[in-house]
Structure formats: structure tokens, C-alpha cells
Chains A and B, each alone.
Chain A
Amino acid sequence: MPNNNISLIEKILYSVEKPGRYVGGEHNQIVKDWEAVDVRWCLVFPDVYDIGQANLGLAILYQILNAEETILAERSFAPWVDMEVEMRRHQIPLFSLESKQNLKDFDILGITLPYESIYTNVLNILDLAGIPQLSSERTQGDPLILGGGQACYNPEPMADFFDAFAIGEGEEVSLEITHAYRDWKISGKSRNELLLDLAQIPGVYVPSIYDVTYNPDGTIAGVLPNQPDVPEKISKRIVASLPTHPSKFLVPNVEIVHDRMSVEIMRGCTRGCRFCHAGMVNRPVRQRSVEEILPVIENGLNATGFEEVSLLSLSSSDHTEILELTQKVHEIFHDRNLSFSLPSLRIESFSIDLMDELKELKPGGGFTLAPEAATERMRAVINKPLNDEDFYQTVSKIFENGWRSLKLYYMIGLPTETMEDVDAILQAGIKVQQIGRRIIGKSVKVHLGIASLIPKPHTPFQWLAVQRPETIQEKLDNLKAGTRKAGIKMSYNIPESTLLESWLSRGDRRLGAVIKRAWENGAKFDAWGERDNLQIWRNAFESQNLDPDYYAFRERSLNEVLPWDHIDIGVRKSFLKRDYEWSLQERTREDCRNTCFACGILDAFVDQRPPETICYWGCP
């Protein structure tokens, strides 16, 4: 296909900020012959290049799809505001980075939804690409608009805009979708028949063939298929063993966030923190062995030249071979002027041993811990149990081993929380500061990071009301006054800034019209603080006769049909319910790799479980 875009694109690049975002051409980029393949994917991350390019999911799918001779996969991102103005002025449709083809000319747009605040960007991208935003308005020649990613475990708010969603892990299902698409393309059947074909693939949710009905009070009566022979519930997909890790990562030419090589050492988490969406939806735990990880690092470094490596997982200390891994990493890489990071360490002295292994390989001077709550009672409520004594012992050991700066993450707005629980955060900060001063002999840096709880779908907290901004503000003010006096640094989000996430994350299908209206009235890049879109959103809710408070501040009844109940993550709703009740009783569950609490994940996927020699699963 001839490409008329290129010279015009090059011209407008002279008048935008950071033009390197739009040119592609990174080392390890894959450009295939457009005419020589059967199915053409564009992987779309609906945020700016600087934010999206580091995404590991994108790298994984880019590798998997391009590994097939008959498939090509290119990339596209949301253009920043200045670029959008130029594109609209010169009528340049949104294009891919690799071959600068119009998005409209691809077969499949795989759009990732990692978080809710980029929903309006999706609409903007479809508009910039000249593709009808509503699935119902798209016709035969339009690309298939396919969603995926962590926010899709509640696909309903975005259901109007997507033809299909891939629920769960995309490694295998993306190829199955491609093959079904290719068969359909050859068959010459209608677009509706494509959607019906796709709905037969496990893990694929085609929202237009499910109808939502409502009760008089506005709650959901049910979500049911309007076609025969499609499943009532859509079970998420998992990969039984973690597939070959990519190592030929794209090396960005312009500076991006997380500008380093990420290696996923483990997926899932067995700790069961009740606020944690990732911990519930990414079960079961699967890990890569040390023998598998080390060559990925070695080959990745040789292929990219990155100077920093991040060993990713939800809970690094829980990898069964983590000590051996850090020792080997130290042994092999210590003299290569690299740095390694190991995020998400548990609060125990073992974590310090791990960091000591990486000490001369680590990027900054600080240590980070996430107790999440400052009283033992509160930590029992959220199921992140930890004795105060163990906490302060770990803190002492951190300072004894030479760290002079400690960042502590806490949450507020938790269920049953009192002002004493909030004050305890400040008291903990002060005590840590004193311990540091005693051990180091001079003042240490203590930094408190405060987040407020946004209850997420598929977690034991999914029924909770969000605490109102006024209440959160009062708690923050208390902490702010105390930390200022004590000389402790504190960072936090303005309470209003989390409202949008509260509305959308547990939204239902009616929010589609709200999202569309908000976009029409100028909302985009909602995660960027400088663009204050909140009033636009409130007006958009009003225009649809919906109350945003209904979504944020309403406690759901335990018997209610939740908008995402037809999406099956493997963990049973009855388990989440019981866990929520336990939470209110301050009853904890230990690490479930020791004791199975029958959350349901093993029953859902027991047939797929491989022998331990192939892939370790965290389930007992």
C-alpha cells in the first residue's frame, strides 16, 4: 500500500515538542513487508509514547505476534496535545510508528487498557484514526477493535467502544484471535459473524452479544447473552507456564519513564492483600527459574545496551529461588557498570539480605517498604499482617546496613479506619526517624507516600464505598501538619484527583455514554493533573441522568449483581465475600502457598497445571 503520510508527518514534526515520540525507528524495531502478511495488527497504548513504550505487555505481544511469519504487529500511541493539533490541522490520520500506515488500514487494533484514566484517550485515538467510536457503528471495512489489559477485568464502562475484549493473559489468545480473523477474512462472511466466531474462543468477551438488564433501583438485574451457544460467563485466560521471555526489547531513542529493561521473574502473588486488584486477578502464581532468567538478562543486555535492569514481580521476596537469583546476578554482572532493581520486597530482614546482594548494583541510595497500614489491627483488616516488632527490626537492619533513606508507603481510607489508625502512620514515621538517627548517628531521610483506597472489582473490597474527599482531606491534613513538624517528607494525591478512577473502575455499561460525552466536551489525558477535567465529567454524568456518587460513595449489597460478575477471574465471588467478612472481623489469612483457602483458582485451572519441572505454581 503506498504511503502518502510520511512527508506530511515529517513536516509537522518540526513544530511539536519531543518529535522523537512519533518517528519509531528504535533499535530492534520490527518492520515487515505490508503486502507479505495475512493479518496486520497495530498494538495501541492509549497514552503518550513516553509512558507506554516501557510496558512489558506490549513488548511481549509485539514479540509473539511478529514471531509468526504471516502476521505483522506495529505500534501506536496517543499523540500529545500539540501533535494532535497539528495532525487535525493537516488532516493527518493517526498512524503507526513502524511504517506510518493509517490505523484504519490495519486488520486488528489491539488497544491496552492498563488503567481507567485513559478511557477518553481511546475515543480520541479512534476519532483521530477516522474509525467510528461505537462498535455498533463500525462496518465491514473497519478494523476489529480489541481490548486487553488489567482494567478489562471490568470491561463494562468501555463495552460500547470495543468489538471484543481478551480477558486475562494475552499470549495465547492473541494468536487464536488472529487465526479466527484470518479464516473469517478468507470466508468473506459478515462482521457480525466474525464477532460470533470470536465469542467462541475461551477468554474472548464480545459485549454486543450480551444484554444488561437493570432493576428499578438502578442496580443490575443480569447480564445475559442474546445469542445461542455463547457462554454465560467469560473465564479469563492464563498461560500454564510463563512463555519465553522477550529479550530483543526496543531501545527507545527518546527518554521515557522506566527507561530500562524489565524482566518478569514471577506472575501473581499468594499474599492475598484485600485491597490489591493485581493480587486477585493474576492468580495463580507462576515463576521463572533462575536458569531461565539469567540468559534473558544476558541476552537482553547484549541486544539492547540498557544500563539498568528491573526484576519484576508483585512480591519479589516470594520467588522461591530469589536469594540464589540475586547472588547469581551479583556474581555475573557486578563488574559491568549496571544497576538492578528489585521492587516489592516484603518487610522482613530477608529482604535486606537480598538488597545487600544487589547493593553495588542498585540505582539509588534509598530503601522502600510498603506496610500499607500502621496499626496491627488495620493490617489485619487489609490482610497484610506484620508485627510492629518485626517492622522496627527490619527498619533497624536497613539503617545498620548503611541505607540512610527510607520510603514507606501507606494507604488511608481503609474500612473501619479511625483517626488513631491514621495518626499511627505519623507515629511510625517519627519512630523510624529516631531509629535511623540512633543507628546512623545523624538525621536520616524518611519519606511517607500516602495513597487513598479505591476499591477495585474482583477484590474483597469491591462492595465498599469510597471515602469522601472531605474525609480523606481531613486525614491528610492531620498527617501533613505532623510530618511538617517532624521534618518528614510526605507525598500524596489530592483527594479529588482519584474520583474519576473511583467512578470508572466499578462502573457499568451505562458509563459508556458518560465517557463519550466527556470526550466530546474535551476530556482526554485524564491522568495528567494539569488538565482539570473533573467538571466536564460531572456534566457528562448529569447529561445521562446518572449520579457519579452512586458509583463512588455507595456501599454495594453483598447480594447485588455486580457489573463485572459475568467476567470470571477464577477466584469465586463467594470467596471474596467471605474474605470481606473476615476483614471486618480482623481475621487474616496466611500466605496461601502454605495453606490453600480454596479461592477457586486451582479448580478453574487444574487441568492446565504443568509439572513443577516445567513451571512452578504457587498453589499447594
Chain B
Amino acid sequence: MLLGVPMNNIPVRIRVRYSKVGNLRFIGHLDTQRLFERALRRSGLPLRYTQGFKKHIRLNLASALPLGFISTAELLDFWLGEPIEEQEIWQRLQSALPLEIRINDLKQVENVLPSLQASLLSSEYKITLPKLVTSEQFQQKLEQLLAQPGIPISRRDKTIDYKPLILGYSISTEESVVNLRLSSTPTGNARPDDLLQLLGIDPANCMIERVGLNF
């Protein structure tokens, strides 16, 4: 006879939207994941773990944020073993996190939803250009680039065409600020720093901020 899973053992899926700023922009994806695992342990919340010999906290980050970028729009799912008031989860997790990670939103979501990575389509970036580059110059360069039949970028051993991955751009009313929308799917993931490099702008001289994830 199959034993039913007791009602109180249904995992509770929590979705967090957070900012990652300051020095923490120099902490990579896997390190960020470990940072959350340890913060979650410190929070004392009743966490769900993965199965297997070495058990990990069940945790799912939407998309790797490249080293050096800040963000106000990161998303993360984790699972609890029992329901707890959202406000309490928010407060307990925030107080266990470093100051440079701030929770912007936290809510329980349906377990049946697909994973964050699987449903992510694109990312919005806000780029503050170096002092000597105006938004208009950026626009001009980008349009020249887009006029070409393809925009090949070599990454490791393969070449990808960036042209279909650049989904949109706009010039902000703020001085020297431009917005980019780039594809972020498992099969087509574009990085704004690659694109800046191609335009002859040193990404190290720009402030790159992820401001939105589109599903």
C-alpha cells in the first residue's frame, strides 16, 4: 500500500525578489547560491532539502548574474517544510542576509509553476556609460552593428550570433544611461558586457545593472 504524504508535509514554495549591490557584485553565481544557503540556515526557517547522500537546501536562482553587475531584480525560489506567515519569513531571512542583499518582495507561489530558469525569457539592463561616451554615440554604434547581417561573438569553442538576442534598446532621460533588453533563455543568453566590448566600450568603465527579468 502506498502511504500518502501527510498534508503538513507539502512543500511550501517561496519566491524572493532581491537586490544585489555594492561589494556583493563581485561574488559570482555559485558563491551567491552558497551565500543564500547559509543565510537560510541562519534564519532558522524549516527548510526543505534535496534528497541524496549529501543533502542541499532546495533552492533555485532564476539566472546567473555575471560578476561585477549589480541588480535590483534577481529572483530565487526556496522551499519550506511548513507554511509560515510571509511577513515572518521576509523578516527572518532579511536579518540573516548581508546588507548588500535586500529583499524587495517575498511571497508564496504555486508548487506547480515551472522552474524560474525554464521560464525566463529575457533580462532588462540599465547601463551607465563611461564619461566620454554619450547615449547618442552608443545608439549610433549599436544601430550600425544591428544593420549588419549577423553579429558573431565567439564564446569558448563556439560562435553565437547576437543579432537575434538583442531584443530592444532605448535611451534614458538620465544622462549617459541606456537600456537594453537581451535574451536570457537556456539556448540564447546574451551578456551586455560582450555587447559593450563589441561596440568598443570598456565594460569595466560602465555601471551595469540588471533591472528586470521577463518571463
> Which residues in A have some Cβ–Cβ distance to B below 8 Å?
11, 13-15, 19-20, 22-27, 251, 253-255, 301-307, 337, 339, 363
Contacts and interface: CB of A to CB of B under 8 A. Distances in A.
Nearest to A336: B41
B38 A20 contact: no
Given A27-B38, A253-B98, 14 more contacts: A14-B68, A14-B203, A25-B23, A25-B98, A27-B39, A251-B38, A254-B28, A305-B37, A305-B39, A305-B41, A306-B38, A306-B41, A307-B38, A307-B41
A253 B27 contact: yes
A303 B31 contact: no
Contact of B55 (A20, A303, A337): A337
Nearest to B202: A14
A302 B68 contact: no
Interface in B61-110: 67-68, 96, 98, 100
Nearest to A251: B38
Interface in B29-79: 30-31, 34-35, 37-42, 44, 49, 54-55, 67-68
A29 to B, nearest CB: 9
In the A-B complex, list the 9 residue pairs whose CB atoms are closest, starting with the nearest.
Answer: A305-B38, A305-B41, A14-B204, A23-B23, A19-B26, A305-B42, A25-B23, A337-B55, A20-B27
A334 to B, nearest CB: 12
B204 A15 contact: yes
A254 B38 contact: no
B24 interface: yes
B contact patch SS: helix
A317 B3 CA distance: 44
Contacts of A301: 41
B164 interface: no
B22 interface: yes
Contacts of A19: 26, 67-68
Contacts of B41: 301, 305-307
Contacts of A15: 204
A363 B54 CA distance: 8
B23 A303 contact: no
A26 B39 CA distance: 12
Nearest to A16: B26
A255 B98 contact: no
A24 B23 contact: yes
18 contacts: A11-B204, A13-B68, A20-B26, A20-B28, A20-B31, A23-B23, A23-B26, A25-B100, A27-B38, A253-B98, A254-B31, A304-B38, A304-B42, A305-B37, A305-B39, A306-B41, A337-B49, A339-B54
Contacts of B100: 25
B82 to A, nearest CB: 15
Given A14-B68, A15-B204, A255 B38 contact: no
Contacts of A23: 23, 26-27
A254 B31 CA distance: 5
A22 B42 CA distance: 24
B31 to A, nearest CB: 5
Nearest to B36: A305
A254 B27 contact: yes
A25 B30 contact: no
Contacts of A11: 204
Contacts of B54: 339, 363
B199 to A, nearest CB: 17
B194 to A, nearest CB: 14
A201 to B, nearest CB: 38
B26 A13 contact: yes
B49 to A, nearest CB: 5
A544 B155 CA distance: 51
A26 B28 CA distance: 14
Given A253-B31, A303-B42, A306-B38, A25 B24 contact: yes
